[in-house]
Homo-oligomer: A and B are copies of this chain.
């Protein structure tokens, strides 16, 4: 911390600078081993900024469970128990949202296909019924992250000519009066085959997080059958089992 300086002229807000500083600081073995961090007042004075700003920065790390504070005692690095690093992915997407960096579509393909047995029994429709199939490759600017395949129940009224570049669930709600709620999910890990490897810009045999999902309306009627293939590097996945 000693050889670290705040740049008051930087476009980066002070609290973000301090946050970065703290992240680096707490990597040091002493702090990993449970030594108390310098106290807030001390840090503030040392960096020549307000205590509030230091707190604002530290709050972020507390929120991420990297730090634990104890009134009257001090602040230290959280025991690296199993829960550490847990919220990496969710907070990542949230931050992207906040900064306006959004998931974008790399490519979209819409087709009308004959539903296979699994889909027919899931959707409870006659065999050989045709359904809309949507394939999307999505990711950030730096590259694709997930490859989605979706099948939609005829009930949705979606057609082949639909503009699928708009946000999907928003579209369903607004234009087709269909509200959604996930009901069942299953996840597993698979290895990339040639097709997936090319799409996701990874090597054949690289790990992929595979998610199978049935999206239903509030009445628990299936709306969408969704297959997601995620690049597994640095990926944290969250499932919601809550019913209410």
Task: Select one of B86, B97, B182 contacting A238, CB under 8 A.
Answer: B86
A90 touches B86 (CB 8 A): yes
Known A86-B90, A87-B87, A94-B65; contact A238-B238, beta-carbon cutoff 8 A? yes
Chain A residues with a Cβ closer than 8 Å to the other chain, count: 41
A188 to B241, CA, bound (A): 10
Contacts of A86 in B (CB 8 A): 90, 238, 240
Stretch at the interface among A15-23, A129-137, A227-235: A227-235
Task: Determine whether A220 belongs to the interface, using a CB cutoff of 8 Å to chain B.
Answer: no
A79 to B170, CA, bound (A): 9
Task: Find the B residue at minimum CB distance from A169.
Answer: B81
Known A79-B170, A235-B242, A236-B242; contact A90-B88, beta-carbon cutoff 8 A? no
B87 touches A187 (CB 8 A): no
Task: Determine whether A63 belongs to the interface, using a CB cutoff of 8 Å to chain B.
Answer: yes
Task: Select one of B65, B81, B180, B239 contacting A236, CB under 8 A.
Answer: B239
The 3 closest A-B pairs by CB, nearest first: A238-B238, A235-B241, A236-B240
What are 16 sample pairs from A and B whose C-beta atoms fall under 8 A apart?
Answer: A65-B94, A81-B169, A82-B180, A85-B242, A86-B238, A87-B90, A88-B240, A186-B188, A187-B239, A207-B241, A232-B241, A235-B241, A235-B242, A236-B241, A237-B240, A239-B239
